[in-house]
Amino acid sequence: MLGVYPLASSAYGNVGSSIYYALGLVAALALGLTPIVFFISGFIFFLTASTYAEATSMFPEAGGSSSFARHAFNEFWSFFAAWGQMLNYTFTVATSAYFVPHYLGGLFWPALRHPPGDIFGGILVTAVLAVVNVRGVKESTGVNVALALVDFCTQLLLVLVGLFLVFSPHVLVDNVHLGVAPTWKNFFVAIPLCMLAYTGIETISNMSEEAKDPGKTVPRSINRVVIAVFAIYALLPAIALSALPVTKQPDGSYMTKLGLSESQGGYAADPVLGVVRQLHLGFIQHGAEIYVGLLAATILFIATNAGLIGVSRLVYSMGIHRQMPDRLRQLHPRYGTPWFGILVFGALACITLIPGQATFLGNMYAFGAMLSFTIAHAAVIRLRVSQRDHERPYRGPGNIRIRGVDVPLFAVFGGLATFVALCVLTALHVVVAIAGIGWLVLGVCVYIWYRHRQGLDLTTTVQVAIPKPAVEHEAEYESVLVAAENEEVDPSGAVALAVRLAARRRRGIFVLVTLPVPYAVSIDAVMPEREAKAQSIIDQAKIQGGRRVTGEVRKVRPGQAGSEIVAEARELRARAIVMALTRGSGRSAFSKTVQTVLSERPCRVIIQTGDDKTAAKKKVPAGARG
């Protein structure tokens, strides 16, 4: 189960990746007002984050705005939000993949910095990761935490060095020519485009089902992401515009190298690397450029993969809720992934890369994001009215009571801001309006056709019946203690279950065999036959589980085995105890050992029942859980 920092780091890993391309795209439009645009967009992000924190704490389930809309409105609006999210993920994949070769090309192979090298490079990145996701890939929490920390520290160091070496308030003031550089049209379009820099808030919502106490951890995670983002994005654009200021050209136009392409001598495709090149760090300059370029490429590569993982989760969720044809959610017979949906939307991302238009990719992402965010805000407002008595572990800041309803001002103003941004974007970009509205019309038509074919109306929530696993959150326990009450109990089924529960750990299973010693005999008495039999249990467990299994035979007095198991679980900090079922005497369903472990359980307790060999062979545990 995930805590505050793993959740926050996963989100920041996505949010932090966006600055590596959003800075150049926004600067090309906003010019000297780029820092102001980042501040305005950051405030909208804060309002949106508050909405996601409240709604996710109420309904800790994957889906984000789609899930919120289902609870607040009906299944049609849930689909509408999900279809907008699918646009987000598709263009997140395309945009992140497009900029990977640009950062690598700036260091090693210049041909990757312009067409067709950047296009083919982005398509190759997307295709490789699509195949990887079809075969099955899991996000590594440890890697996410490490990379997010490295990324944040690097960006923070860049800000501190930039403040000392290049930051200039005088230059920032001279950069601004209101109404001219930038024009008001470009300024207003830059605001929704700048929301690119704040992608990733959906990540925490989608991972909320895996969170410890989501009512507390999810809002805290979101708040930490907001703080970290503000700490960087409030200053980095100002430093960038100080290092690469706006200048007037001979034809009377204004430009900054942050917004110019590589062919024009600019850094629009690798803006952070461009900033580093203006710091003049002496003998470490070349090393700093290589480090930042490789880090940026790595972060963007992982962001591309995160987008494809988001696609796989969303397409499966939409299929389960009868929002799209079953073919798209169909699982691969060998790898168990929604392979067809991954390939379809991965191919769509590749197609969008062919024109090689980074601004179009960014604007299309902004279209989908503003739509999803607007629906999320509307859902929170609606939930305050329709489910006012529902438990809310977290309430967003800024509420006013009107006629018995706590109106969430953060959602009201956030929804107005994202809706206005959506209208501005579609009104000023005809191509984006045609593509975005066309996407929505296509989705609605498919939805109506599919629901009609299934004999369903458009608003009722209907889920496909999916057999639930006997054990929740399988293969997610960091450490598992397998307890054998004595050498006569066959724990093979329990060991098979433990192997599944600790599937991601190399040495995550500890087998404890308790050996009862009568009071009439010394506790240290040698009992070669019984000890050998007990040791054979551990040896057999090592054969079943491999190198991840360790174990110990421990002598105890009669009746003390349960307490010994509980004490060992606490010392190991075990996340789960697995025991084979042993019956008690008389009418008791459980032995005294099992009763003690269940009553004093320091963690989850799973009792393996039925035919152990059958359960082990089928890998389908049946049991009582504590």
Asked if residue 435 and residue 344 are part of one domain, the reply reads yes
Asked if residue 101 and residue 155 are part of one domain, the reply reads yes
In a domain? residue 232: yes
pLDDT score, position 169: 93
Helix axis angle for 561-572 and 592-599, nearest 10°, is 40
pLDDT score, position 246: 92
User: Rounded to an integer, what is the distance from CA 460 to the centroid of its chain?
Assistant: 28
pLDDT score, position 30: 92
Q: What is the CATH number of the domain that holds 557?
A: 3.40.50.620
User: Rounded to an integer, what is the distance from CA 149 to the centroid of its chain?
Assistant: 15
Asked if residue 491 and residue 433 are part of one domain, the reply reads no
pLDDT score, position 276: 92
3-state secondary structure of 375: helix
In a domain? residue 274: no
Q: 621 φ, ψ to 5°?
A: -75, 145
Cis previous bond, 558, omega within 30: no
Asked if residue 499 and residue 449 are part of one domain, the reply reads no
Asked if residue 518 and residue 375 are part of one domain, the reply reads no
Q: What is the CATH number of the domain that holds 135?
A: 1.20.1740.10
Asked if residue 493 and residue 420 are part of one domain, the reply reads no
For 85-103, b where at least 16 C-beta lie within 10 A, e where not — what string? bbbbbbbbbbbbbbbbbbb
Asked if residue 542 and residue 433 are part of one domain, the reply reads no
In a domain? residue 255: yes
Asked if residue 373 and residue 485 are part of one domain, the reply reads no
User: Rounded to an integer, what is the distance from CA 115 to the centroid of its chain?
Assistant: 31
CA 255, 236, 271 angle in degrees (round to 5)?
50
Asked if residue 494 and residue 384 are part of one domain, the reply reads no
pLDDT score, position 442: 95
> Following DSSP, what letter does each residue of 232-294 receive, concatenated?
HHTTHHHHHHHHS--EE-TTS-EE-GGGS-GGGT--TTSHHHHHHHTS--GGGHHHHHHHHHH
In a domain? residue 462: no
The per-residue pLDDT for range 323-351, each reduced to its tens digit, is 988 888 877 777 777 888 889 999 999 99
Asked if residue 225 and residue 350 are part of one domain, the reply reads yes
Domain total in the chain: 2
Asked if residue 541 and residue 441 are part of one domain, the reply reads no
CB atoms within 10 A of CB 119: 18
In a domain? residue 21: yes
In a domain? residue 278: no
The stretches in the chain having pLDDT less than 70 are 1-2, 13, 136-144, 199-200, 206-211, 465-476, 503-507, 583-590, 609-626
pLDDT score, position 37: 93
pLDDT score, position 617: 36
Asked if residue 447 and residue 533 are part of one domain, the reply reads no
CA 306, 160, 42 angle in degrees (round to 5)?
50
In a domain? residue 110: yes
Boundaries of domain holding 409: 4-263+306-453
pLDDT score, position 126: 93
pLDDT score, position 170: 93
In a domain? residue 294: no
* Share of the chain residues as helix, strand and coil, in percent rounded to the nearest 5: 65, 10, 30
| Radius of gyration in angstroms for the set of CA atoms belonging to the chain, rounded to a whole number | 28
Last residue of a domain, one of 415, 434, 453: 453
pLDDT score, position 475: 42
